[in-house]
Chain A
Amino acid sequence: MRTEYDVIIIGGGATGAGTARDCAMRGLKTLLVERADIADGASGRNHGLLHSGARYAVNDRESAAECIGENLILRRIAAACVEETEGLFITLPEDDLEYQAKFVECCKAAGIKAEAIDPKLALKLEPEINPEIIGAVKVPDASVDPFRLVAANVLDAKLHGADILTGWEVVEFIKEMVTITGVRIRNVKTGETKAIRAHYTVNAAGIWGAHIAELAGVHIGMLPSKGALLVFGHRAAKMVINRCRKPANADILVPGDVVSVIGTTSDKVPFEECDDMKVTRREVEILLTEGCKLVPSLATTRIIRAYAGVRPLVADDSDPSGRNVSRGIVLLDHSKRDGIRGFISITGGKLTTYRLMAEMTTDLICKKLGLEKPCETAIKPLPGSEPEAANLPHKTWTVGQKAAFNRHGGCVTQMDFAQNNTEEICECEHVTRAEIAYAVHNLGVKTLDDLRRRTRVGMGTCQSSFCVLKAAKVLAEELGTPDAAQQLVRDFLRERWKGIKPVCWGDQMREAEHMRNLYKEAAK
């Protein structure tokens, strides 16, 4: 690893990973620093919704237009991460049907193909929705796997020469007069520190960006907004289901892989809570009550997990009270804004617009460096999403191979599905030893939680009850530290428990007790 770069990017979420990819593709010497793991913050704690932009069409046309533009790009360049489910905006008897006409009109103005359809037809397309609906609009929403998306960006950044450091946090900025010339980073495990220099440092740390900015000596007014979500044990619907009304709590259901996710809530939280978001029973109740109005069968579907992410809302610079929130993407050139050179912040925005945010950031860096290299991230597919992947011989594959293909697209050809590698380690998600080995050696996995973000191990209905021992053994072997297996198990069960605790009743209470019966002695 070098100690001097063109660009250092702080934050391994979608925006940071996308920026690292874009910078590396334009030939910049790039380093990405992430204190935990990639997609560990809000990038891994959201709906997994590839917005069509329809949700924003009425109130924020600019965001809506950005979303539909990126939606169409990501379907192409991130095909392996996107499931083209399409979406519905349904109007319930308690909602104002007049909103629908305005909604469709605004969608069209933003360039979103929105089509009002007969409620009867909507029920045919998606029989699980509330049969009481009085209106329905079809929109090009889709489901996107945020973990896969971030991992693919990181992988491609690496393939283009970027260095990726996870488990390192920025503790200090190196300044010369008014110019930031690098950062001091610390290994969160060992405490080792390093100084790394770069022409430009990009703050892409989401809500934690407020703290990073303070370290750099500038202030960004950020308002942490907690969004809680529930995971249901199977696909309660095959399309994305939205409520056709002014955006409110729990009005989107997204099917993804073998589960469905309903969300979200929106509550201001203090910065101190951002590192350890807990979902309360009250939030679960709101999500469940509202969710059942969209899809009634949710009332009898097992909730396997609850989680929450923090939106990095940015206070409008023009409003000293900090109450007005900037909508959409916020790119701050701190040399212009604060007189601090060599430092850029990119925040706000949405998962759907991460690529555009990365492009805007990289454009700014290139402009400053006097580099004329066009952005190619909207044209070149991410690893695994190459169009040729569709021609692979799926029909002859095992279940595990097919599942790996669904997750990693064309990269499945790099996995070694030799005889003793086809054993399924996680049966809910059909994760094989071959896929785990690939993830460890190519996608920077250190813990079972990292492995979960790369392969979905332990994310299915059993929440790792049946796979944690096998997965820990295989991971420890692949990492070359067989003695670490027990600790991997303990850490992972503790992590899984956080999401099970808020939804521990009914059938999930049975699952929880079963998990305890199996592993409660494992702490000793």
Chain B
Amino acid sequence: MKYDVIIIGGDQRDAEFGLQYLKAGKTVCLIAEGGIIGSPQARAAYAKAGGIILMADKVEKVDVNPDGTVDSLRTANLGATPLKADLYILASGRFVAGGLKSDMTHVWEPIFGADVQFAEDPESWCKEDFFAPQPFESFGVKTDNDGHVLKEGKPIANLIAMGSIIAKQ
């Protein structure tokens, strides 16, 4: 299956963003593992405009072209059927939504293996005071100035990051 844009994410803003593409005449597919969180209206408007939602589905495999760009995605529910797009948008959120994973010492981005910015010393991931801004909230995937996701230091030309998954300075 081929779309103009595939968005990986499930926030209502992802649906709203998808709607803008639909209005511009593009075909859009939203892969929403946890369903669309937030306004039901945003979801309805997106669906009414012809947007596709793969509800409760998640990306399990990424096929990569020799030049490092994303060729296609495979999801849990669609199995061997590849999903292709001209542009992929990574909007899978931070830790709560599962866009970033962590263990005792590392933080990683599980779908594309993108470069992630995080503090080396795990003791410094949190502040003593609950109400202080927490360092882990600035962790995220690294991007270039145009929003392209970096992997091994190089931008992936057809993958951009959106929302809280982006590392904060």
Chain A interface residues (CB < 8 Å from chain B)? 280-281, 284-285, 288, 490, 493-494, 496-498, 500-501, 504-506, 509-510, 512-517, 519-520, 522-523
Known pairs A281-B122, A505-B103; A520 contacts B95 (CB<8 A): no
B96 adjacent to A490 (CB under 8 Å): no
Known pairs A281-B122, A513-B136; A501 contacts B128 (CB<8 A): yes
A513 adjacent to B126 (CB under 8 Å): no
Known pairs A281-B122, A513-B137, A514-B96; A506 contacts B131 (CB<8 A): no
Query: Smallest CB–CB gap between B99 and chain A, Å?
Result: 11
Alpha-carbon separation in the docked complex, A260 to B168 (Å): 37
Known pairs A513-B95, A514-B96, A516-B137; A505 contacts B131 (CB<8 A): no
A510 adjacent to B95 (CB under 8 Å): yes
Alpha-carbon separation in the docked complex, A221 to B137 (Å): 45
Known interface pairs A505-B125, A509-B102; 4 further A-B residue pairs with C-beta atoms within 8 A, sorted by A's residue number: A285-B104, A497-B129, A505-B102, A506-B102
Q: Which residues of B contact A281 (CB under 8 A)?
A: 104, 122-123
In the complex, residue of chain B having the shortest beta-carbon distance to the beta carbon of A492: B130
Q: Which residues of A contact B129 (CB under 8 A)?
A: 494, 497
B134: interface (CB < 8 Å): yes
In the complex, residue of chain B having the shortest beta-carbon distance to the beta carbon of A517: B96
Q: Which residues of B contact A288 (CB under 8 A)?
A: 104
Alpha-carbon separation in the docked complex, A497 to B136 (Å): 14
B94: interface (CB < 8 Å): yes
B131 adjacent to A522 (CB under 8 Å): yes
A504 adjacent to B136 (CB under 8 Å): yes
B123 adjacent to A520 (CB under 8 Å): no
Q: For window 101-131 of chain B, which residues contact chain A by CB distance below 8 Å? A: 101-105, 122-123, 125-126, 128-131
Query: Smallest CB–CB gap between B33 and chain A, Å?
Result: 13
Query: Smallest CB–CB gap between B116 and chain A, Å?
Result: 13
Query: Smallest CB–CB gap between B75 and chain A, Å?
Result: 22
**Which 8 A-B pairs have CB atoms at the shortest separation, nearest pair first?**
A497-B130, A523-B131, A501-B126, A513-B95, A505-B102, A510-B95, A509-B95, A514-B96
Known pairs A494-B129, A494-B131, A505-B122; A513 contacts B94 (CB<8 A): yes
In the complex, residue of chain B having the shortest beta-carbon distance to the beta carbon of A493: B130
A512 adjacent to B126 (CB under 8 Å): yes
